[in-house]
């Protein structure tokens, strides 16, 4: 069976090679591997725009008022002083290794229990996200400690893996007791390919929906429909761990507002609740603090980040690993190929074949991965299929990285072993397959 799939995989690799577009890819392997511009930026003007966006992305924002009004407005409550802090080298963040270690590239979402299994209610005092830092004169909201419960799992041929299950404890409340609260830890995800994801024709994503598992394969992915309240129109969610954001610009602006406390035209309100009076009265860095031009500049940068080209795709061990990937059923959610819309803008993005290894649908991943918290159209057990392109370069870019939404997994194998729900069958296949097949699978993932 694997030999047959290997032949199919070779065909897919060759087909992908035909459609592969060097204008979108980079072969860089250094710490800059996820920070390179696409080759289609072929003029000094475009490269200048890219560099300006990178500068803003890396910028350490300051408290208002300051001598440089272009970069002030941080806070009043915030998690980080720059985008780079949570996405080092545009790569993945990580979870603290214990309760005494601070969250450097992780945040904690908050809500209170409600009756709707798909939508959360922000905490009436602390809002939708814990802010661990504040400007002078404003109390911070508190701190989140990460505690772990460890377990050992035995795989075929006696191989073992240690898994750590996190739990969150909120301490040092700045505005009174937290009370009954739901939490969800999230590490910063890798950012490559976001512009291309934004340009996938929604019909391509819809075509993979199977909400009722009509084909009885155990996979029942569904789109997270995002409602635009202003126009009462529906959009396909593509971004975020819960696929709860529809466009790249909204993803960027929401991160600036929630993580850095910077307002924009899309999110004009400071992240202060009605009872956080000092927060409401803090000096503003402008209305809005992130200008339309700055948002456009950061969006340009993220849109044109080059996607890492696969390494050694025709090597026998990589081909074998791809065959194992297919046979284990991973391909049912981590779909290798999409085509961008024929009307994508800029025109250079139209009709491009891309290999994100995701279907951008929500899947029930079981209780072990559940955060037990509904979120913008997704239940606690549902998560968007994470794109895999560039995942093999995660450790080239970051000194220490995490996998899955909360960084509990420190290796790709651990990430696989946490799969449950719709991913249980594939996870079990990996546990029981010969070690040589597991090694080949990991070789393939590391080639992406």
For 395, other C-beta atoms within 10 Å of its C-beta total 15
- Region of residue 363 (left: phi > 0; alpha: psi -120 to 50; beta: else): beta
Classify residue 441 as exposed, middle or buried by CB count within 10 Å of its CB (0-12, 13-18, 19+): buried
Classify residue 259 as exposed, middle or buried by CB count within 10 Å of its CB (0-12, 13-18, 19+): buried
Q: What is the 3-state secondary structure of 43-84?
A: CHHHHHHHHHHHHHHHCCCECCCCCCHHHECCCCEECCCCHH
Q: By the 8 A CB rule, do 192 and 390 touch?
A: yes
Helix (H, G, I), strand (E, B) or coil at 327: helix
314-315-318-323 Cα dihedral, nearest 10 degrees: 60
Q: What is the DSSP letter of 264?
A: -
Say which residue the tokens 């890819």 belong to.
25
For 22, other C-beta atoms within 10 Å of its C-beta total 12
Q: Where are the beta strands (DSSP E) in 93-237?
A: 106-111, 133-134, 143-154, 160-171, 182-187, 225-228, 233-236
For Cα atoms 81, 85, 87, give the angle at the middle one, nearest 5 degrees.
135
Rounded-to-integer distance, Cα 188 and Cα 59, Å:
17
Q: By the 8 A CB rule, do 264 and 256 touch?
A: yes
pTM greater than the 0.85 cutoff: yes
Whole-number pLDDT of residue 18: 34
Query: For residue 245, what are its two tokens?
Result: 């954001």
Q: What is the DSSP letter of 387?
A: P
Q: How many residues does the chain have?
A: 448
* Beta bridge pairs of residue 205: none
Whole-number pLDDT of residue 126: 98
Whole-number pLDDT of residue 222: 97
Query: For residue 81, what are its two tokens?
Result: 């002083």
- List helix spans (H) across 228-268: 248-255
Whole-number pLDDT of residue 308: 97
Q: What does the pLDDT profile of the chain (448 residues) look like in tens digits?
A: 443 334 344 344 433 443 447 899 999 999 999 999 999 999 999 999 999 999 999 999 999 999 999 999 999 999 999 999 999 999 999 999 999 999 999 999 999 999 999 999 999 999 999 999 999 999 999 999 999 999 999 999 999 999 999 999 999 999 999 999 999 999 999 999 999 999 999 999 999 999 998 888 999 999 999 987 667 789 999 999 999 999 999 999 999 999 999 999 999 999 999 999 999 999 999 999 999 999 999 999 999 999 999 999 999 999 999 999 999 999 999 999 999 999 998 898 999 999 999 999 999 999 999 999 999 999 999 999 999 999 999 999 988 899 999 999 999 999 999 999 999 999 999 999 999 999 999 999 999 9
What one-character-per-residue DSSP string does 412-425 give? HHHHHHT--GGGHH
């Amino acid at each position: 069976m694997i030999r047959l799939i290997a032949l199919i995989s070779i065909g897919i690799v060759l087909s992908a090679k035909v459609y592969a577009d060097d204008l979108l890819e980079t072969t860089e392997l250094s710490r800059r591997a996820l920070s390179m511009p696409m080759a289609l930026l072929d003029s000094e003007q475009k490269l200048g725009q890219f560099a300006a966006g990178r500068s803003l992305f890396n910028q350490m924002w300051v408290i208002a008022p300051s001598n440089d009004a272009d970069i002030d407005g941080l806070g009043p409550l915030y998690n980080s002083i720059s985008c780079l802090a949570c996405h080092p080298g545009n790569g993945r963040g990580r979870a603290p290794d214990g309760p005494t270690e601070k969250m450097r590239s992780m945040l904690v979402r908050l809500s209170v229990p409600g009756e709707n299994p798909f939508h959360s209610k922000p905490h009436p005092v602390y809002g939708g996200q814990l802010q661990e830092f504040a400007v002078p004169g404003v109390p911070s909201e508190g701190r989140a400690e990460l505690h772990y419960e460890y377990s050992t799992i035995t795989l075929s041929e006696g191989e073992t893996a240690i898994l750590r299950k996190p739990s969150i404890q909120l301490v040092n409340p700045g505005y009174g007791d937290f009370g009954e609260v739901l939490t969800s830890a999230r590490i910063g995800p890798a950012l490559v390919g976001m512009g291309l994801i934004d340009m996938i024709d929604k019909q391509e994503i819809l075509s993979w929906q199977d909400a009722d598992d009509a084909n009885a394969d155990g996979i029942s992915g569904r789109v997270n429909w995002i409602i635009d309240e202003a126009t009462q129109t529906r959009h396909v969610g593509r971004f975020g761990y819960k696929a709860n954001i529809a466009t790249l610009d909204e993803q960027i602006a929401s991160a600036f507002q929630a993580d850095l406390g910077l307002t924009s035209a899309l999110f004009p309100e400071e992240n202060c609740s009605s009872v956080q009076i000092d927060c409401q009265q803090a000096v503003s860095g402008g209305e809005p603090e992130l200008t339309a031009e700055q948002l456009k500049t950061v969006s340009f940068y993220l849109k044109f980040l080059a996607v890492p080209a696969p390494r050694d795709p025709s090597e026998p061990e990589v081909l074998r690993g791809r065959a194992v990937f297919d046979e284990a059923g991973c391909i049912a959610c981590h779909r290798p190929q999409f085509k961008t819309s024929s009307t994508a803008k800029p025109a250079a993005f139209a009709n491009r074949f891309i290999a994100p290894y995701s279907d951008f649908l929500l899947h029930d991943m079981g209780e072990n991965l559940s955060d037990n918290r509904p979120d913008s159209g997704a239940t606690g057990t549902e998560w968007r299929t994470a794109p895999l392109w560039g995942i093999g370069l995660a450790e080239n870019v970051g000194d220490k990285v995490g996998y899955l939404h909360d960084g509990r997994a420190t290796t790709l194998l651990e990430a696989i072993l946490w799969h449950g729900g719709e991913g249980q069958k594939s996870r079990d296949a990996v546990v029981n397959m010969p070690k040589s097949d597991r090694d080949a699978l990991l070789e393939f993932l590391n080639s992406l």
